[in-house]
Amino acid sequence: MSVQFSSAQFGGEFKPNYDESKVPEFEVPNPLKSFRKRKIKNVRQWEKIRRPELLDFFTHNVYGKIPGELKIESWEVVEQSNNALNGKARRKQVDLIFSKNGHRLFFNILIYLPKNVEKAPVFLGYNFYGNHTVTNDVHVRISEAWARNNPSFGIIHNQLTEQSRGVRENRWQLEKILDAGYGLATIFYCEVDPDKDDFSNGIHPLLYTDGQQRPAYNEWGAIAAWTWGLSRAMDYFEQDDEVDENKVIVFGHSRLGKTALWAGATDQRFAAVISNNSGCGGAALSKRRFGETVARINRSFPHWFCRNFMIFNQNEESLPVDQHELIALIAPRPVYVASAKEDLWADPRGEFLSAYYASPVYNLYEKEGIPSKEMPDVNQPVQNTVAYHIRTGKHDVTEFDWEQYILWADKELFNK
Rounded distance between C-alpha atoms, residue 284 and residue 409, angstroms: 22
332 C-beta neighbours (distance < 10 Å), count? 16
Distance CA 28, CA 54 (A): 14
Which helix (H) or strand (E) covers residue 296, if one does?
A: helix 294-300
- Asked if 297 interacts with ligand GCU (CB under 6 A), we say yes
Active site residue 132: no
**C-beta of 171 vs 247, nearer to ligand GCU:** 171
Indicate whether 255 belongs to the interface with ligand GCU (CB under 6 A): yes
Q: What part of residues 58-117 is at the interface with ligand GCU (CB under 6 A)?
A: none
| Per-residue binder mask for ligand GCU (CB under 6 A), 300-339, x = binder | x---------------------------------------
Question: Is 254 marked active-site?
Answer: yes
Contact indicator for 350, 294 with CB cutoff of 8 Å: no
Which one of the listed residues 143, 204, 253, 254 is annotated catalytic?
254
Pairwise CA distance, residues 380 & 113, whole Å = 30
Q: Which is nearer to ligand GCU, 90 or 389 (CB)?
A: 389
Closest distance to ligand GCU from the beta carbon of 313 (Å): 14
221 binds ligand GCU (CB under 6 A): no
Nearest approach in angstroms of CB 280 to ligand GCU is 5
Rounded Cα–Cα distance for residues 128 and 145 (Å): 12
Backbone angles phi, psi at 65, to 5 degrees: -85, 140
Contacts of residue 406, defined as CB under 8 A and 6 or more positions apart, other chains included, come to 176, 177, 180, 182
Number of residues that bind ligand GCU (CB under 6 A): 8
CB of 64 to ligand GCU, least distance (A): 17
Buried b (16+ CB within 10 A) or exposed e, 156-191: eeeebeeebbebbeebbbbeebbebbbbbbbbbbbb
Selecting among 60, 103, 139, 395, the annotated active-site residue is: 395
| Torsions phi, psi for 176 (to 5 deg) | -60, -45
Task: Check residue 280 for interaction with ligand GCU (CB under 6 A).
Answer: yes
Q: Which stretch binds ligand GCU (CB under 6 A): 82-90, 292-300, 314-322, 408-416?
A: 292-300
Exactly one of 254, 259, 266, 275 binds ligand GCU (CB under 6 A); that residue is 254
- Which positions are annotated as active-site residues? 254, 395
Give the binding site for ligand GCU (CB under 6 A): 254-255, 279-280, 292, 297, 300, 345
